[in-house]
Structure 1
Amino acid sequence: MDGNGRWATQQGKPRLFGHRAGAKRVREIVESCPDLGVKYLTIFAFSTENWKRTQAEVAGLMMLFRRYITKETQALNEKNVRVRFIGDRVRLDKKLQTLMDELEELTKDNTSVNLTIAINYGGRDEVARAIKDIARDVRDGKLDAEGVNEGTLSSYLDTMVLPDPDLVIRTSGEARISNFLLWQSAYAEYEFIDTLWPDFTRDIFSEVLDRFNGRDRRFGAVKK
């Protein structure tokens, strides 16, 4: 969900104004998913690299995450949205961790949309954490090293219960993947669009999905 800060700058506002606008946009996109045929939606809210931003912006983002969860919990549950969080939670403050745990527990039986929110997430960090866990289980005799394969690694990732993404959308004109779902996106389709996230409407989402549905996906095979 890139471009919040630039969007705010264009409005003559501070960067956090853009992040607040971006958070509001999330609701519209989540609510549009059932009608657009989207069962699983993952949003990249805060990366392991975002700690490099100014202390004021990071603190503002953490406050925004706490406020978003508190404000949206009832609506998400009423819309039958199941919420999961991925990423390393250890560095997050305890209040935010508690809110995340409570939202996951409250919505665990919901079935309309599976919303995954990546906070303090990085693809490389996720794989490194998974490898550490695999190594620990091999050491403790819980896992046979000779039997480790791609499926084993996938089962140790934060996304172990989720399907691999079909489509990755990057807003704001940036044409890079920025450490997002590196393992899982091996055969995902990509869309890099110029629209800044606060301007990413349901209609634009629908247009991107239409283009995706017209693609020929062969997964390394030759079309017969």
Structure 2
Amino acid sequence: MDDARRFSAEFLGTLLLVFIGVGSAIAARVEGGVVVVALAFGFVILALVYTIGPLSGSHVNPAVTLGVLLSRKISVFGAVAYWIAQLAGATVAGFLLFGLTRWGGVADQTETLGTNRYGQHIDLGGAMLLETLLTFLFVLVVLVVTSRAEHAAVAGLPIGIALAAVHLVGVALDGTSVNPARSLGPAVFEGGEALRQLWVFIVFPMLGAALAAVAAPIILGHRTPLHRPS
């Protein structure tokens, strides 16, 4: 029963993260620009850390789950179940966003359902580097902050700030992934070029997360990262 609750929390949390974060790009990117999108992602992860963090750790991101797995704070079974829940939640969010733009009268200001892309403002090599470094920073913050019990009460704040910061850098370049689930959900319904480029926004966020799992113990010394809230 507890496992089912945790997996359900990851499903719902990822759904909300993608729907609100990507939705902000779809509905407000032209008017509010990068700042609105960055704040939407930062605020929603901040809220989720305190809402579902005590239950599931609020990973809501396969890259975070990989970092926690490599830190030996979640089992392989648990990680795979989290990944399934996260990808399912993101796919449902993608469908809801698709529905709003096709049948709900919402104008898609990105014209691509908020998908991640390279080619216009950044090339393939640049997107690979960008996603690796931005995800490295975000997952490193998650792993280090959540390892320190004295910071547990305020862990959501640096996590939210870190996610907002990486979006401030990346939104104008490739839309900012740092989360394979966030990239998958909209791409499934946009299709075309978004699906063909999707591998970049899966592989390199996961690489960044793996590097963060290596770096976190160096920063922490004798302490190893915990996985909640994250």
Q: TM-score, normalized by length of structure 2?
A: 0.30
Which structure ranks higher in relative contact order (CA pairs < 8 Å, sequence separation ≥ 6)? Answer: 2
The answer to which structure has the higher strand fraction is 1
Which one has a bigger Cα radius of gyration?
A: 1
Higher helix proportion (structure 1 or 2): 2
